[in-house]
Structures are given as C-alpha cells and as structure tokens.
Amino acid sequence: MGEPNRECRRFELPRVLGRESWIDIWNPFFEHAEADALFGALREESTFERRSIWLFGREVTQPRGITWAGDLPYTYSRSTLAPRRWTSTLARLRTIVADVVGADYNHALLNLYRDGRDSMGMHSDDEVELGAQPTIVSFSFGATRHMVVRAKRAIAASEPKPSYRFELAHGDLVVMGGAMQLDYLHGVPKTTKVDAPRLNVTFRRIVLDSRS
C-alpha cells in the first residue's frame, strides 16, 4: 500500500452556543490506484442489503444498500445492527483510522449508492451509544457525490441557517468533529448528474454497549 496523504484541510463551522464544530477533509487520502483496489475489495467482500428504518413515524426502506462490521450493536432510526465480523479490508481501514484519529474505532457502516438515485437524508450521528461529541470518520470510493451540511438552528437572529456543500471524491477521507453532531445535520442528496456507484465507509466509536 502506498503512503496515504497526510495533508488535510480544516473547515471550521460557525460556533453554536459557543461550541466548536469542524470537518477535516483529505482530498484525496488514498492515491487513485489504492482507492481503486480498496473499492474493488470492499465490494467483493460485502453483501449489501436494503434495510428498513423508522423515519417520522413511518417505516421506510433506506435509499441505498448497507452492510457493516462492528464489535458492539449500533442502533439508529430504530434499526439495530448486531455485531458482525470485520472483513480483511475493513480491518485494514480500521487500523488506518486508529493511526489518523488516534483512537480505536469499533464500528464501520458501508453505504452503497448505486448512482445518483440513491441518497442519505439529512441527519446527525447523535445516538446515545456514540457518547457526547463523537468524531465520525468517513471514506469515499467511486463516483463523486456531495455532502450537504446544515446548522440545526440559525446562528444569528433573522439570518438563514448556514448551509455548506462538500465534494466527496474517490479516495477522500472526511472527519467530522467537535459538536458537529449536536449542532449540524449532514446528508448526501439525490442527483441526476451521477450514473455510477459510490461506496462510503463510515467509522464510529461506540462507547456504550446498548445490551447492558
């Protein structure tokens, strides 16, 4: 494996209630050939499913395929992902995450977007098992998509909620930190402009075992 790029750009989001939120972006983190190899290996090792979740009191099928690996259960939108083994490629990525962020991450969720018809709604990763201010680590492979980030409330009276758009390209790494999951929503909207697949791998650190 080639040496990953260590240079990242930090976007400081406007503070809400004095709390810092930020996004670090490595664009790219993996060089092209390495990203191709990881994209291929992850797709080969994984079986994706379209699972149902509960949103606004309704059961809906998620508009993308998912699979995961994790040491502990992770529940979002009333859907529990039971512990599942790490494939060799996910275990490799987990080691890289520990090196970049300096902590052992114990859950990886893979999102497969077939093309621009698939999407991720605006949400925050604020589940209780992730602790108070989780740092979320996310790799992108395949087609370029955009992540929209929007404040949950206006920062200044009479001004709209700030909103940003970040490009997520093949081999990129994004780390969302500080109070971002408390104060901001993020999502990957549908687009008519993309007709190729994208794979996202999002690492989380589950600090509370929901079974105990």
Ligand X SMILES: O=C(O)CCC(=O)C(=O)O
Nearer to ligand X, 94 or 186 (CB): 186
Give the residue ranges of DSSP H helices in the chain. 32-45, 88-101, 180-183
CB of 177 to ligand X, least distance (A): 14
Residue 43 backbone dihedrals phi, psi, to 5 degrees = -70, -35
Q: How near is the Cβ of 191 to ligand X at its closest, in Å?
A: 13
Q: What binding mask, one character per residue, do residues 163-202 give for ligand X by CB under 6 A, x or -?
A: -----x-----------------x-x-----------x-x
Binding status of residue 129 toward ligand X by CB under 6 A: no
Q: Which is nearer to ligand X, 18 or 198 (CB)?
A: 198
Which of positions 84-123 make contact with ligand X (CB under 6 A)?
A: 109, 111, 120
135 binds ligand X (CB under 6 A): no
Length of the chain: 212
In angstroms, what is the minimal distance from the CB of 148 to ligand X?
Answer: 10
Site residues for ligand X, 32-51, by CB under 6 A, read none
Q: Give the E-state strand segments of 77-162 in sequence order.
A: 79-81, 107-113, 120-123, 136-142, 145-151
Residue 192, token pair as written in the block: 């008519």
Q: Apex CA 29: angle with CA 25 and CA 32, to 5°? A: 135
For the bound state, the minimum distance from the C-beta of residue 84 to ligand X, rounded and expressed in Å, comes to: 16
In the numeric block, which tokens belong to residue 209? 């075992």
Whole-number Å distance between alpha carbons of 194 and 51: 23
Q: Of the two residues 2 and 184, which places its CB atom closer to ligand X in the complex? A: 184
CB 115 within 8 A of CB 182: no
Q: How far is the CB of 199 from ligand X (least distance, A)?
A: 9
Q: Which is nearer to ligand X, 4 or 187 (CB)?
A: 187
Q: Please say whether the beta carbons of 15 and 172 come within 8 A.
A: no
Residues at the interface with ligand X (CB under 6 A):
109, 111, 120, 125, 138, 147, 168, 186, 188, 200, 202
